[in-house]
Structure 1
C-alpha cells in the first residue's frame, strides 16, 4: 500500500469520527441556544451573544494562533526532532497561560469601556464574569491542538464535541427549572468551561498523552510565536469575514433584514462540514510526509481527499442550490422564504471554498502561514468594499455576493501560492471529470425551472440527480486506485460486506 493510501485511510477514519462529533455538538448546541432564546428576553439573548462574541475575539488573541499552529508543529518536531517535543509543548502551554491571564485582566478592567462601545450597560457585568473563563478556554483549545499533533481526534470529539455541549445543555436546563435570573447564565458558562478543563487535564494525565512539566525554551517559544502570529491574524480575519455582512446589514438596513439573512447564512456555512472535519487530522498526517520530503505523496493525498470531500459535499450543496425555497421553508418557515436567492449565492461561495480543498492548511504544513494571512486580508477588504457598494441597493443579495466573492478571492490566492510553492493542486484528471459532470447536470436541472416549495417533493428529484451523477462518474472511469483502497478500508472498519458495490466498482476501475 502506498504512503498516500495509508495517509488517506488515517484521515478518513478521523474525518468520520469528527463528523459524527460535529453533528452531536451542533444538535446539542442548537437545543441550548433555543432554550436560552425562549427563556430569556430578546435583548438578554442579545447581550449573551455579544459577550460570547467579545470573548471569542479575546480567545483568538490569547492563544496567538497556537490552535492552528500546534498540530503542524508537534507533528513536525515529532518527525524531525522528537527529543524537543516535550519542551515545545511545555513552552506553548506556559505562553498561553501567561497571555490568557493578561487578556483576562484586560477584559475585566475594560469591561465598562467595551460595553459603552456597544451601548449596552449589561455587557460590562457579563464580561467581568465570563472573562475568567478565558484561561480555561485557551488551555483547552491548546491541549486539544497538541493531541491533534499526535494524530489523535479523541480529545477533540469527546471533550469539545460531546462532553461540553451536553454539560452546557444540562446547566442551561437547570437555569430554567430553578427559575434563576439572567446573570446566572454567565456564572454557569464559567462553571462549564472550568469543569471541561479539569476533566481534560485529568484525562491527559491518566493516558500520559504528554508530560505536564515546567520547561520553557526561549528559542522554541520565539519560533512558535513567529510561526503562529499570522495564524492569529487569519483567525481574526475569518471572524471579520463571518460577521461583516451581518453587521453592515444591521447598519444599512434593519433588524428584520438581518433576521432574513441569518436564515440563509448558517445553512450555507454547513457546506464545508466535510472539509472542516477532514482538516482536523490532515495537518499532522501530511506534515509527517512534508518532514520526510515526500511532496509527491502530499500532492496525491491532496487530490484524492479533495475529490472525496467534493463528492460528499455535493448532495448538501445541490439541495440548497437547486431548491433554496424548499430548504428555507422546511427549516425556518414561510416568513424567511425571501432569503432563498441569498442562500443560492452563499452556497456557490462556500462550494467554491470546498472544491479547491484544504489549500490553507497545506500552506501551514509547508511553513507558509503568512500567505494565508495575505490572502485573507485581500478577501476581507473585498468583502467590506462590496458590502458598502451592494447592500444599500440589493440588501441581503448584495451581502451574499460580497461574502461569496471574498471566499473566492481567499481561495484563489491560497491555491495560487500553494501551486507556486509545491506544484500541488486538486485538479487530477479523475477529479476534473466529476467536476465537469456536476456542472452540466446542475445546469440542466436549474434550466428546468422547477419551483419546488415542499422539501419532500425536492428529495426524489435530488435522489435521481445524484443517482445519474454517480453513474456518470463511474462511466467516465473517474475512480483511482487509492479510492478503492480507501473504500475497502472503510468496509473493513465498519465490519460489513459491501459486495454489490464492489462488483459495480470492478466494472469501472
Structure 2
C-alpha cells in the first residue's frame, strides 16, 4: 500500500472513531452533569456516613457483578467485528451474548441477594448494609444485559446506544429518581433505589436500540457459545482485577477508616475519574477500529490512529486537569460543601496519575482489541498488587491521602507497562511531537505560574485563568498536523455540524 493510501485509511478510521467519540462525549457531558447533580444531592441530603454506606454497597455489587458479565462486554466488542463478514457466525455471536448474559446475570444477582448478611456483617461489620446490598443486587442482571447490548452496537461501530441511553437518559433519570426518593425521606435506600430505577429504564431502551442497529440476518445462526466464552471468560480476570484495582482504595478506606472518611475520599475520587471518563468516551470506538485494521494487516494505520486519538484526548482533557489540580478546594467546596474539602489533597495526588494516563492513551483497551487478554491480566495483576500493598501500608498512617498515593502509583505502573508492551509487540505507541510539545509547554506555564503565586503568597487557583489565556494559542501553534484538516472535514460530514470556525482557527496558516 502506498503512503498516501496509508494516510487515507488512517484518516478514515480516525474520523469514524472521533465521530463516535464526539457523540459519546456529548452524551458524557450530560452524564457528568447528571452525575454531579446526583452526587451533590446525596452529599447535601445524606450524612457523610450514610453517603459512605451507599458508595460501599454499590461498590460491592459492582465488583461481584463483573462475574455476571463474564467478560462478555469486552469480548463481544471484539468478537462481533471479528466475525461480522460471516453472517451466520455474527448472528451466533449476538445470540450467544444475550443468552449467556441473561443466565449469568440472574444467577449472580440472586447469589448477592442471599449473601448480603454475610457480606455486611462479616466483611464490613455493618449490618445496616444488608438492605442496601440486597436492593442493589437487582442491578446485576439488568446491567449485564445493558452492557451486552451496548457492546454489540459498539462492535458494529455505532455509539448511539451508549450516548443516547447510557450517558444521557440513564444518568438523568437516576438524578431525578434519587432526588425524589431522598426528598421523600428514604435516605440511603432511596439513593440505591434511584440507581436501580435508572438502570431498569436504560436497559429496556438500550436493548431496543441495539435490536434496530444490528443487521437483520436471513441465515440460521451458527452456534458460537464456545468461541464467545473462550475469548470472554479470561476477561473476567482482567475486568475483575481492573475493577479491584480501581476500587481497592474504596474497600480499604471503608475497612481502616470511618464511613465519613470514605464519603470525603469518594468525592475526590469521582472528580479525578472525570478525566478517565472523558478519555474512555472520546475513544469509545477505538478498540473495535483497531481490531478491524490489525486483522486487515494495516499496522501503520493502527499506530497512526492510536497517536491521533491520543493527541486530541490530551487537547480535550488537559483544561479539566488544570482546573481540578489548581483549584480543588474551590471546586469541592462549591459543589459538595465544606465538609468534603479535606479531600482536596487526595484529589491532587490522583490527578498526577491521570495526566500520565492521558499521555499513554487507551493502552489496555488497545491490547484487548489486539487479542492480548492474558498480557492485560498480568499488567493489571501487577497494578493491583502495588495498589493493595501501598493501601495497607499507608492508609492506617496518613489516611485517605495514602489511598490516593496507592491508586496513583499503581495507575502509572499499569500505563507504562501497557504502552511498553503495545510498542514491543505491535509497534503501536502514543508519542509524537504534537502530543509532547503542547503537554510540556502548558505544563511548564502552569508550574511557573503556580511557583510565582506561591512566592507571592497569592491563591494558587489564579493559575487557572493564566493557563486559560495561553492555552488556545499553544494548541493552535503546536497541535495541528497535515491529517487533521482532512480529518476535521470527515468528522464535519459525519456529525452534520458546521466546523468551519474550528477549521479557520486551527488551519489559518494553510488558507
TM-score normalised by L of structure 1: 0.87
2:96 matches 1:91: yes
Change over 3 Å in CA distance of 1:44–1:356 after alignment to 2: closer
Which residue matches 1:486?
A: 487
Segment of structure 1 superposing worse, 290-299 or 459-468: 459-468
Work out the CA distance in 2 between the residues paired with 1:163 and 1:169.
Answer: 10
How big is each residue's C-alpha offset from its partner over 1:192-234, in whole Å with a ceiling of 9 and x where there is no partner? 43443333344444566556999672xx323322322332222
Deviation at 1:334, TM superposition (A): 5.0
Q: Is the 8 A contact 1:9 1:489 kept in 2?
A: yes
Gaps of 5+ in 2: 1-6
Deviation at 1:124, TM superposition (A): 3.2
Q: Is the 8 A contact 1:324 1:344 kept in 2?
A: yes
Which residue matches 1:502?
A: 504
Work out the CA distance in 1 between the residues paired with 2:47 and 2:330.
Answer: 30
Q: Is the 8 A contact 2:102 2:145 kept in 1?
A: yes
Deviation at 1:424, TM superposition (A): 0.8
Work out the CA distance in 1 between the residues paired with 2:50 and 2:451.
Answer: 46
Work out the CA distance in 2 between the residues paired with 1:312 and 1:189.
Answer: 29
Q: Is the 8 A contact 1:326 1:458 kept in 2?
A: no
Out of 9, 12, 30, which is 1:6 matched to?
12
Work out the CA distance in 2 between the residues paired with 1:367 and 1:273.
Answer: 23
Change over 3 Å in CA distance of 1:121–1:139 after alignment to 2: same
Change over 3 Å in CA distance of 1:88–1:316 after alignment to 2: same
Work out the CA distance in 1 between the residues paired with 2:272 and 2:310.
Answer: 19
Deviation at 1:108, TM superposition (A): 2.9
Segment of structure 1 superposing worse, 260-269 or 16-25: 260-269
Deviation at 1:235, TM superposition (A): 2.1
Which residue matches 2:114?
A: 109
Gaps of 5+ in 1: none
Change over 3 Å in CA distance of 1:508–1:406 after alignment to 2: farther
Change over 3 Å in CA distance of 1:163–1:433 after alignment to 2: closer
Segment of structure 1 superposing worse, 322-331 or 223-232: 322-331
Work out the CA distance in 1 between the residues paired with 2:176 and 2:336.
Answer: 25
Secondary structure (helix, strand or coil) at the match of 2:380 reads: helix
Q: Is the 8 A contact 1:326 1:454 kept in 2?
A: no
2:423 matches 1:422: no
Out of 346, 350, 354, which is 1:346 matched to?
350
Out of 302, 309, 332, which is 2:306 matched to?
302
Work out the CA distance in 1 between the residues paired with 2:219 and 2:121.
Answer: 42
How big is each residue's C-alpha offset from its partner over 1:24-77, in whole Å with a ceiling of 9 and x where there is no partner? 122223334444555566655554443322221232110111112211211111
Segment of structure 1 superposing worse, 199-208 or 399-408: 199-208
Out of 239, 249, 255, which is 1:235 matched to?
239
Q: Is the 8 A contact 1:357 1:426 kept in 2?
A: yes
Query: Counterparts in 2 of 1:185-334, with a 5 A limit?
Result: 190-206=196-212, 209=215, 217=223, 220-255=224-259, 257-334=261-338
Work out the CA distance in 2 between the residues paired with 1:436 and 1:31.
Answer: 34
TM-score normalised by L of structure 2: 0.87
Change over 3 Å in CA distance of 1:240–1:187 after alignment to 2: closer
2:464 matches 1:448: no
Task: Provide the aligned length of Structure 1 versus Structure 2.
Answer: 501
Change over 3 Å in CA distance of 1:70–1:449 after alignment to 2: same
Deviation at 1:302, TM superposition (A): 0.6
How big is each residue's C-alpha offset from its partner over 1:284-335, in whole Å with a ceiling of 9 and x where there is no partner? 2221111211111000101111111111112112223344444444444555
Deviation at 1:461, TM superposition (A): 1.2
Change over 3 Å in CA distance of 1:465–1:335 after alignment to 2: farther
Deviation at 1:238, TM superposition (A): 2.5
Which residue matches 2:3?
A: none
How big is each residue's C-alpha offset from its partner over 1:158-207, in whole Å with a ceiling of 9 and x where there is no partner? 22122222333343344356666875766665554344333334444456
Which residue matches 1:151?
A: 157
Change over 3 Å in CA distance of 1:251–1:135 after alignment to 2: closer
Secondary structure (helix, strand or coil) at the match of 2:130 reads: helix
2:141 matches 1:140: no
Deviation at 1:146, TM superposition (A): 0.5
Secondary structure (helix, strand or coil) at the match of 2:361 reads: coil
Work out the CA distance in 1 between the residues paired with 2:185 and 2:401.
Answer: 41
Work out the CA distance in 1 between the residues paired with 2:186 and 2:335.
Answer: 31
